[in-house]
C-alpha cells in the first residue's frame, strides 16, 4: 500500500534527523535541525493522514461494481457506481455489469476468436450437420459479483470459463430437437428460443451447484446465420425452383381460366343479341323492309334495269319512271 510506504519513509526521515541532533556539537546547529525535523514531521504526518483519508474512498465507474479484496480474501459487500467508502486495506476489483455480447462466427475477425473461424457445428434431429453463427447478450448480476470473482475471476476469465462452453453445449442440445429444414426456415425463432432456454438452464445449474442463486444473466440469443451441408443446399435450391415453377404454372392456369370465362361471356352476349334480333324479324317487317329497299333502288339516279323475283303477296307502290 502507498500509505504504508509513506509511513515507513517518515519513520526513516525522523530517525535520520534525530540521529543528526545527537551527533551535532553546536547548539545552534542542534536548534536548526530540531526546527527542520519538526516541519518534516508535521508535513509527513499530514501527508500520511491525507493518504489515509483518500484510501477510505474509491470511485466506481458507471456500469460497474467494485469487489473488495483484503489480504487475498473477497469481501461480500458490493460497491456500486459513484463515490464509495471502503476498507482502507482493501484493493478494489472493478467488474462491468453492462450488457456484453459474445459472437461465434465462421467469418474470421468477426467473432471473439478473431484469428480463426468459430462457428458451431451441430447435428439436427435428422442427423444432418449444420453450422451456426450466433451472438449471445449477457451481463453479470451485480449482487453476485463478489462470489463470481471469488470462484471464477474477472469478466474475461468467467466469459471463457462459463459463457463460451455453455453456449456451445446449449446450441448442440437445442439443435438436436429440430430437423435441418426447421432450423433453416420456418422454426428459426423457435430454435433461438430453445437455445436461450438451454443456456439459462446450464448457467443456472452451474451456479446452483456452488450454492449461488444467480451469477450471469442471459438477456438474448441471436441466431445470425445457419449454413447447411452442401447436399442440403442443393436440395433446398431444387425445392425452391420447383415451387417457383409451380407458382408460375398456377398463374398461367388462372390466366387461361379468366380468358375462357371472358370468351364465354362474350359468346353468351352475341347469342343473346342474335336471339333478340331473330324474335324481331316478323314476316310483315321483312315485307316492309323489302318494299323500302326496292323503292331506294328505283329512285336511285344510277339504277339500271333490275330483275327481281316477285312475290304476289306483295303490293309494292313503286313509281317507275
In this prediction, residue 16 has a pLDDT band, given cuts at 50, 70 and 90, of: low
Cα Rg of the chain, angstroms: 50
148 closest CA partner among 80, 81, 214, 219 = 214
pTM: 0.61
Higher-confidence residue: 246 or 287? Answer: 246
Q: What is the pLDDT of residues 95-122, one digit of tens each?
A: 999 999 999 888 877 777 777 887 888 8
Share of the chain above pLDDT 90, in %: 28
Q: What is the pLDDT of residues 131-176, one digit of tens each?
A: 889 999 999 999 999 999 999 998 889 999 999 999 999 999 999 9
**What pLDDT is recorded for position 320?**
47
Higher-confidence residue: 206 or 20? Answer: 206
Cβ contacts of 237 within 8 Å, gap of 6 or more: none
Helices 2-23 & 27-55, crossing angle to 10 degrees?
A: 170
Weakest mean pLDDT among 34-43, 212-221, 239-248: 34-43
Q: State whether CATH 3.30.479.30 applies to domain 99-228.
A: yes
Mean pLDDT of 229-257: 77
Q: Where are the domains of the chain?
A: 2-55, 58-93, 99-228
Q: Mean of the per-residue pLDDT values for the chain?
A: 80
**Beta carbons within 10 angstroms of residue 316's beta carbon:** 15
Amino acid at each position: 500500500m502507498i500509505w504504508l510506504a509513506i509511513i515507513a519513509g517518515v519513520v526513516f526521515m525522523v530517525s535520520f534527523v534525530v540521529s543528526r541532533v545527537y551527533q551535532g556539537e553546536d547548539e545552534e546547529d542542534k536548534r536548526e535541525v530540531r526546527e527542520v525535523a519538526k516541519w518534516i514531521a508535521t508535513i509527513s504526518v499530514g501527508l500520511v493522514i491525507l493518504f489515509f483519508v483518500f484510501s477510505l474512498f474509491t470511485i466506481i465507474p458507471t456500469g460497474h461494481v467494485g469487489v473488495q479484496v483484503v489480504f487475498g480474501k473477497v469481501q461480500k459487500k458490493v460497491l456500486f457506481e459513484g463515490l464509495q467508502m471502503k476498507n482502507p486495506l482493501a484493493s478494489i476489483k472493478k467488474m462491468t455489469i453492462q450488457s456484453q455480447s459474445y459472437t461465434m462466427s465462421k467469418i474470421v475477425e468477426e467473432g471473439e476468436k478473431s484469428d480463426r473461424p468459430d462457428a458451431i457445428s451441430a447435428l439436427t434431429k435428422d442427423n444432418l450437420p449444420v453450422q451456426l453463427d450466433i451472438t449471445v447478450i449477457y451481463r453479470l448480476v451485480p449482487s453476485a459479483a463478489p462470489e463470481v470473482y471469488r470462484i471464477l475471476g474477472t469478466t474475461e476469465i468467467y466469459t471463457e470459463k462459463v459463457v463460451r462452453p455453455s453456449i456451445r453445449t446449449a446450441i448442440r442440445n437445442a439443435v438436436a430437437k429440430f430437423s435441418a429444414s426447421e432450423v433453416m426456415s420456418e422454426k428459426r425463432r423457435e430454435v433461438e428460443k430453445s437455445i436461450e432456454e438451454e443456456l439459462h438452464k446450464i448457467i443456472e445449474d452451474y451456479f446452483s451447484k456452488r450454492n449461488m442463486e444467480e451469477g450471469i444473466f442471459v438477456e438474448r440469443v441471436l441466431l445470425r446465420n445457419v449454413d447447411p451441408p452442401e447436399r442440403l443446399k442443393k436440395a433446398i435450391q431444387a425445392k425452391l425452383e420447383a415451387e417457383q415453377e409451380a407458382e408460375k404454372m398456377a398463374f398461367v392456369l388462372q390466366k387461361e381460366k379468366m380468358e375462357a370465362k371472358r370468351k364465354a361471356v362474350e359468346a353468351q352476349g352475341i347469342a343473346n343479341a342474335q336471339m333478340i334480333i331473330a324474335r324481331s324479324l316478323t314476316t310483315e317487317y321483312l315485307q316492309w323492309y323489302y318494299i323500302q329497299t326496292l323503292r331506294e333502288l328505283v329512285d336511285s339516279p344510277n339504277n339500271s334495269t333490275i330483275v327481281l323475283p316477285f312475290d304476289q303477296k306483295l303490293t309494292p307502290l313503286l313509281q317507275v319512271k
